[in-house]
Amino acid sequence: MGSKKFKTEVSDLLHLIIHSLYSNREIFLRELISNASDAIDKLRYLSLTDEKLKGLFTEGRIEISFDEKAKTLTISDNGIGMNEEDLNNNLGTIASSGTRKFLESLTEEQKKDSNLIGQFGVGFYSAFMVAKRVDVISRKAGEESAFKWSSDGTSTYTVEPAERDFPGSTLVLTMNEDGESYLNRWQLENLIKKYSDHVAYPIYLEYDQESYTDEKDKDGNPVKKSEHKKEQINSSSALWRRNKSQIKDEEYKEFYKNFCHDSEDPLFYIHSHAEGTTEYTTLFYIPAKAPFDMNHADYKPGVKLYVKRVYITDDDKELLPTYLRFVRGIIDSEDLPLNVSREILQENRIMATIRNGSVKKLLGEFKKIAENNPDLYEKFIGQYNRPLKEGLYNDWANRETLLELVRYKSSEVEGYTSLAKYKERMKEGQKAIYYIAGGKESVLKASPLISAYRKKGYEVLVMDEDIDDIVAGMIGSYKDLPLKDIKKSSSADDLKDDDKKDEDIKSADVDKLAGLLSDRVKKVIKSKRLTDSPAIIIMDENDPSLQMQQILKQMGGADELDDIKPILEVNTEHPVFAKIASASEEEAKELASLVLDQAYLAEGIMPKDPVAFASNISRLLAK
């Protein structure tokens, strides 16, 4: 049928695999066995739910053989199989739209990480780490025709008609120099036990075993005989169905590496069995590193749903809420019908019970770790603080627990702190939790406002993640303490000294400045907080922050935001205001404009008219 070119993303990935990922070649077998197991899972499920395929599934099995002379390794399954279209779509392209962009962003060091293969969900291509040619002979269940896909892992592949007696796929790897070392019984047996012992289907290894007989040859030496053997190598038990008291920590970790295509141990795991009106088992893992697509809209969910050990789906974002999308693992229900569809799952009462119970279990375990193992929890927060914060605005039922779990940086302590710890450290008489949000940590911590609160003895939480602006405002309060943004107008009076009266003589300076900037600010107010800086921009209570305005503009909301003006809070004791008071009208306007633009820069925001700002600076320097 002629050769076809790989899609660009596949060519990029193959180049990365063949030329960079040399650190752990042996995982190729884990990946190919996992793919075979998935194919059997799918046929098992469809044979129960699809009338056309009923009765086609008997007993799933994976068979592995090798030929040292031909330098080939063969892996065969009796799963769902593929037709010509599937071979083109599944082996000639990568479905994930973000793959190419992600590949381009990798550093040279990251490209050496074999864990990346599993992150793409394209473990098939790992075969080219050890093979100079791969042939896939496949026949789709319910169809008569078989096809053969072949490639040497460069830029092209071929698909042509073939023969196969039953549904499933057979992979024939013609090994390269590096791959030849895997063509022996002991190496293959060790790899199967190491990575695939808990695959739910038996894995058989075929080999020829030589032994000596009692007979003698003409020279009196024992006669050798060769016996062809086929042995089951793995235990083929569903780990999650076993009693957790009988499972070793190492077994949990090896199962995770095989199941989740990860070369690292998980951060921790949570295994539980729920009984009562709804019976189900869950085995959840938290990866040591956040999945690369965690913050992509088209992220791939990491939890598989089984019903009585029968695989149902691994592509349903309804199994756990979006903010727990980093969780990997299994939900196995005793009560769901086997023919449950994705649409039914979203509204199924049993599934809702399982989902709610799973969320509470996960959050409860996170809380226990936070209390009992702070070092482990800090690693967890370093990877997953952001999605947990998302839960604060889309999981109201678990809001109180999530408030105990999220962490923030602070003006007073290193690393992360909780709202509970902040409350413990609060100064006597303090009536609010203060925070500053919207921008990089370095910019926020340099804010002159923080200095003013610290002088008063008030700690300020530093919220430097992009969603903090939205989430912090929605929290409202914690343990009856309001959360106050120190960059909002409502916080301006909190540092006021009631015994100190405003100097009325200064009001004229503020009024003059307000007049000079009337087209750019909502109002000018005299600061009770600033000491060294001339001014700072704050926002009216109901207006979005400057940083949030930038985000909204990127989303196409520029027209509505153009009318929003900031409030300029000024330190009238600063020498610049004496200059403004005594300057000519034109010079005063230039100085006032510079004060405002400088306040924008202190927020990490470019002035609205950078050219005018530069011109004003030049004129000032010339004088």
- Contacts of 509 by beta carbon, 8 Å cutoff, 6+ apart: 572, 577, 580, 581
pLDDT for 1 equals: 63
Question: What tokens does 247 get?
Answer: 């499972």
Task: Provide the residue count of the chain.
Answer: 623
pLDDT for 344 equals: 67
pLDDT for 504 equals: 42
Q: Which of 471, 470, 474, 433 is nearest to 453 (CA)?
A: 433
3-232 in CATH: which number?
3.30.565.10
Q: Regarding beta strands 310-313 and 302-307, do their DSSP bridges make them parallel or antiparallel, or are they unpaired?
A: antiparallel
pLDDT for 110 equals: 54
Residue 329 phi, psi dihedral angles, 5° rounding? 145, -155
Note the CATH architecture for domain 502-623: Up-down Bundle (1.20)
408-486 in CATH: which number?
3.40.50.11260
Domain ranges across the chain? 3-232, 239-386, 408-486, 502-623
* C-alpha dihedral, 413 to 530 to 570 to 540, nearest 10°: 40
239-386 in CATH: which number?
3.30.230.80
Report DSSP state, residue 95.
Answer: -
Residues of the chain with pLDDT under 70: 1-2, 8-13, 15-24, 93-122, 338-344, 346, 496-508, 553-562
Q: What is the pLDDT of residues 464-494, one digit of tens each?
A: 998 898 888 888 899 999 999 998 887 877 7
pLDDT for 119 equals: 43
Residue 207 and residue 66 in contact, taking contact as beta carbons nearer than 8 Å: yes
Q: Tell the burial category of 241 from Cβ atoms under 10 Å away from its Cβ (0-12, 13-18, 19+).
A: middle
pLDDT for 148 equals: 97
Report DSSP state, residue 539.
Answer: B
Residue 496 phi, psi dihedral angles, 5° rounding? -65, 135
Distance of alpha carbon 237 from the chain centroid: 29
pLDDT for 105 equals: 58
pLDDT for 507 equals: 64
What's the pTM? 0.70
In three-state form (DSSP H/G/I as H, E/B as E, the rest C), the secondary structure along 353-410 is: HHHHHHHHHHHHHHHHHHHHCHHHHHHHHHHHHHHHHHHHHHCHHHHHHHHHHCCEEE
User: Is the alpha carbon torsion for 442, 443, 445, 448 positive or negative?
Assistant: positive
- H/E element, 71: none
